[in-house]
Amino acid sequence: MTHDSHGPALPEGRGPLSGAVAAYLRGTGPLPPDEAVRTADVYGGDLQLALYLCYELHYRGFAGVDPELEWDPRLLATRRAMEQRFLGALRADTPVHDSVAEALKELLVEPAEGAGVSHYLRDEGELWQLREYAAHRSLYHLKEADPHAWVLPRLWGRAKAGMAAVEFDEYGGGRPERVHARLFADLMEDLGLDPAYGRYLDAGCAPMLALVNLMSLLGLHRSLRGALVGHFAAVEITSSPGSRRLAEAMRRTGAGGAAEFFYDEHVEADAVHEQIVRRDVIGGLLAEEPHLADDVVFGIDVTEYLEQRLGDHLLSLWREGRTSLCATEENAVAI
């Protein structure tokens, strides 16, 4: 049996489901019974961490874990059961627009009185809250663009070309020092955080795990390619104004030049990406496959739904002066 020597360490489980999946990956225990999947809180840390562990095998894996487990039939069956519960809950709980045009229109209009996380951090957030935000977001930004790359083989023509153009920018336009994941690692160093891939998985809150799991779920299933395109549109369209506010938060708190640069870079780049995504990626996809319009709408709206859940979770704790991290003692000291 071959084991990966690189990659992050497996985290501790957050309940019987994730604990059993972690034990199976270590080779020290069986997979969880079906009942554990059926009864777990679908948005809770236990199910979301278990699903994240399964998905991470398709990225960098974990130190000490056999890479062949990526395609282990029993593990895939458990993952499928968790995916069905997660996707079923998302379809039931997400309010959706009637058309792609309506969903995009709402994304393009910034509310006059914003009240989200980026507004809070810009106006009154403290440095410790910016550090916590970066720790959570590192679960995505240190693999930025990777979940979306899964859709490229499932597209063709104008949609593929547009998607590839945006991804090329995300990967630094051929310059390794400008890869966005590298820029986020630099941001983390400015904030005094450990930039190692997967370092803060133990600390990541359940709503953040759910958001990253959504990307992997949509990217890894060809049948969900329309929803992945919708999700990607939501990310790119909302990124520029949110990044502007976060750059201002970094400047106000003196976070550092690299911390400011990461968000300044996204203000400019994502303003261009938004046009490409709307015109070429969505436009090209629906010109070829108009029957995917409802899936595109779902992808847009479910992204906003999970972002709202994350924002509500963070703000409810921060406004009480409480940490948002699911931190072990070691993580609490590190943050």
Given this model, what pLDDT does residue 56 score? Answer: 98
Least confident of 6-10, 168-172, 227-231: 6-10
pLDDT digits (tens, 9 = 90+) for 315-330: 999 999 999 998 654 4
Spatial contact of 331 and 325, defined as CB atoms under 8 Å apart: yes
Report the percentage of the chain scoring pLDDT > 70: 95
**pLDDT tops 80 at residue 269:** no
Given this model, what pLDDT does residue 335 score? Answer: 62
Annotate 73-103 with b (16+ C-beta within 10 A) or e (fewer): eebeebbeebbebbbeebeeebebbeebeeb
Given this model, what pLDDT does residue 115 score? Answer: 82
Least confident of 28-32, 90-94, 135-139, 273-277: 273-277
Question: Among all chains, which residue has been given the structure tokens 């104008």?
Answer: 158
| Element containing residue 35 per DSSP (H, E) | helix 34-39
**pLDDT tops 60 at residue 333:** no
pLDDT digits (tens, 9 = 90+) for 88-124: 999 999 999 999 999 999 988 877 677 899 999 999 9
Given this model, what pLDDT does residue 4 score? Answer: 60
pLDDT digits (tens, 9 = 90+) for 230-265: 999 999 988 888 999 999 999 999 999 999 999 998
Task: Give Dmax over CA atoms of the chain in angstroms.
Answer: 58
Mean pLDDT for the stretch of residues 22-45? 96
Q: Which residues contact 247 (CB under 8 A, 6 or more apart)?
A: 260, 263, 264, 267
pLDDT digits (tens, 9 = 90+) for 34-92: 999 999 999 999 999 999 999 999 999 999 999 999 999 999 999 999 999 999 999 99
| Element containing residue 158 per DSSP (H, E) | helix 157-170
Amino acid in position 55: Y
Tokens of 304: 């906003």
More confident call, 69 vs 268:
69
The C-alpha atoms of residue 305 and residue 61 are separated, in whole angstroms, by 28
- What's the whole-number average pLDDT of the chain? 93
CA-angle at 153, arms to 148 and 155, nearest 5°: 85
pLDDT digits (tens, 9 = 90+) for 271-315: 778 889 999 999 999 999 999 999 999 999 999 999 999 999 999
pLDDT digits (tens, 9 = 90+) for 143-158: 999 999 999 999 999 9
Given this model, what pLDDT does residue 1 score? Answer: 54
Long-range Cβ contact pairs of 165-171 (< 8 A, separation 24 or more): 165/276, 165/280, 166/232, 166/236, 166/273, 166/276, 166/277, 166/281, 169/269, 169/272, 169/273, 170/144, 170/145, 171/145
Given this model, what pLDDT does residue 329 score? Answer: 43
Given this model, what pLDDT does residue 64 score? Answer: 95
**pLDDT tops 60 at residue 197:** yes
